[in-house]
């Protein structure tokens, strides 16, 4: 379920690095890192960080080389000096880019980077912008798509403090990007260790996240809703989460997310919308193991929306993953509340084998016209 939460700092390309700003590749590796290590004034260090960040955007290959050359060590050196506090956000943003490759994450672990990130995140004197960039680094290094996070032993030691601080950041975020970064980090952490979900429940995460979701200033995009629903989907694996989600109007929020639409029509936003639709259906299916929640969902038109997503490919962006999730949710509702679905829908969408219903919806849409 994990997905990129913003484009900056994401280096998934493999294009060859090229000289930039007058640097050869070798000079870029050594000169900029050395400048960070030896720089004594804000101007020179800031210039080096900006140039280093630009180089990280050239692709994964250069990030590998920079990590090997000691960029992670140099950036953390900056983040441990109070004199450079105003440069923390740009240093952390660059660190997130370097840590998009596994060498960067290994280096971060070697220099006790998790402890440094935790200290910054829990420091009340740090700015919101700085804490948001820490959240971006945490989201990057805990990405489910990487294998390196499994070796972050010190992360488990600091996980409770990190989760507490990230939830607070979501709760107090002044804008959408801050909430997006904090919730992206939390979403990835829920994949990192099973204890994370239990901690989130204990910390009143359901209330905090659903309140954020209803605040258009904090959760203002499909990307943000993708992160929120990812957390809810993972929390819904715990039986004790159901009552709290219902109490906080979470079922209504999930049904509302089944109507997610794209605003820009960009490929990235369409993908985010698909993930929101899929995860909302998955979460509802899990929650509807409880007959009370199933009845509540049916009462609030969940079934009609799931059926529309199954029958009309344009409603689900022609996504097979959304179709499968919606069919599964309908079957769960039918089990929990027999009689809650019309017979014609039962015959086509519920009673056949899942693969048969899938083929009917994906290949024979004309039969529904």
How do residues 316-329 score in pLDDT, each as one tens digit? 999 999 999 999 99
Is residue 259 in some structural domain? yes
Confidence (pLDDT) at 19: 43
Kindly state the tokens that stand for 78: 């900056």
61: Cβ contacts below 8 Å, ≥ 6 apart: 14, 15, 16, 17
Sorting pLDDT into bands at 50, 70 and 90, what band is 123? very high
Does the pLDDT of residue 85 top 50, yes or no? yes
Does the pLDDT of residue 17 top 80, yes or no? no
Selected residue with higher pLDDT from 51 and 33: 51
Q: What's the distance, CA 138 to chain centroid? A: 11
Task: Encode pLDDT of 266-318 as tens digits.
Answer: 999 999 999 999 999 999 999 999 999 999 999 999 999 999 999 999 999 99
Is residue 300 in some structural domain? yes
Does the pLDDT of residue 347 top 60, yes or no? yes
Q: Give the C-alpha separation, 79 to 94, whole Å.
A: 12
Is residue 145 in some structural domain? no
Does the pLDDT of residue 167 top 90, yes or no? yes
Is residue 196 in some structural domain? no
Sorting pLDDT into bands at 50, 70 and 90, what band is 15? very low
Average pLDDT score over the chain: 88
Is 212:253 a contact under the CB 8 Å cutoff? no
Range of 285's domain? 236-369
Read off the pLDDT of each residue in 183-205 and give the average, rounded to a whole number: 93
9: Cβ contacts below 8 Å, ≥ 6 apart: 56, 93, 96, 97, 100, 136, 140
Confidence (pLDDT) at 338: 81
Task: Encode pLDDT of 275-287 as tens digits.
Answer: 999 999 999 999 9
Sorting pLDDT into bands at 50, 70 and 90, what band is 336? confident
What percent of the chain clears pLDDT 90, i.e. is strictly above it? Answer: 73
How many domains are contained in the chain?
1
Is residue 117 in some structural domain? no
Confidence (pLDDT) at 3: 39
Confidence (pLDDT) at 193: 75
Sorting pLDDT into bands at 50, 70 and 90, what band is 357? very high
Selected residue with higher pLDDT from 9 and 38: 38
Q: Give the C-alpha separation, 221 to 208, whole Å.
A: 18
| Listed residue (91, 85, 175) closest to 123, CA to CA | 85
Is residue 248 in some structural domain? yes
Confidence (pLDDT) at 363: 74
Confidence (pLDDT) at 40: 75
Does the pLDDT of residue 367 top 50, yes or no? no
Is residue 118 in some structural domain? no
Confidence (pLDDT) at 29: 65
Selected residue with higher pLDDT from 259 and 6: 259
84: Cβ contacts below 8 Å, ≥ 6 apart: 42, 45, 78, 91
């Amino acid at each position: 379920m994990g997905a990129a939460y913003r484009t900056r700092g994401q280096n998934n390309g493999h294009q060859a690095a090229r000289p930039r700003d007058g640097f050869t590749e070798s000079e870029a590796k050594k000169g900029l890192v050395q400048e960070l290590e030896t720089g004594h004034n804000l101007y020179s260090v800031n210039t080096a960080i900006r140039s280093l960040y630009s180089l990280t955007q050239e692709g994964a290959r250069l990030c590998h080389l920079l990590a090997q050359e000691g960029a992670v060590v140099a950036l953390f050196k900056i983040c441990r000096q109070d004199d450079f506090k105003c440069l923390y956000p740009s240093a952390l943003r660059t660190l997130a880019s370097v840590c998009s490759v596994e060498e960067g994450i290994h280096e971060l672990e070697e220099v006790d980077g998790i402890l440094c990130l935790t200290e910054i995140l829990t420091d009340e004197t740090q700015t919101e912008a700085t804490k948001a960039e820490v959240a971006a680094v945490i989201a990057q290094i805990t990405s489910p798509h990487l294998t390196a996070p499994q070796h972050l032993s010190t992360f488990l030691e600091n996980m409770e403090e990190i989760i507490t601080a990230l939830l607070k950041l979501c709760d107090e975020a002044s804008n959408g990007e801050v909430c997006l970064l904090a919730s992206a980090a939390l979403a990835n952490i829920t994949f990192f260790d099973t204890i994370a979900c239990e901690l989130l429940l204990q910390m009143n995460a359901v209330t905090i996240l659903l309140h954020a979701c209803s605040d258009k200033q904090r959760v203002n995009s499909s990307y943000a809703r993708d992160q929120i629903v990812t957390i809810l989907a993972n929390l819904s694996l715990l039986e004790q989460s159901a009552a709290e989600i219902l109490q906080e109007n979470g079922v209504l929020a999930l049904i509302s997310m089944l109507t997610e639409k794209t605003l820009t029509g960009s490929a990235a936003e369409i993908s985010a919308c698909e993930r929101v639709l899929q995860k909302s259906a998955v979460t509802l299916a899990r929650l509807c193991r409880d007959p009370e929640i199933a009845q509540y969902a049916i009462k609030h038109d969940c079934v009609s929306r799931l059926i529309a997503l199954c029958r009309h490919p344009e409603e689900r962006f022609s996504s097979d993953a959304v179709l499968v999730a919606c069919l599964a949710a309908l079957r769960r509702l039918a089990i929990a509340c027999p009689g809650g679905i019309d017979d014609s829908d039962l015959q086509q969408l519920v009673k056949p084998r899942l693969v048969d219903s899938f083929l009917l919806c994906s290949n024979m849409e004309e039969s529904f016209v």
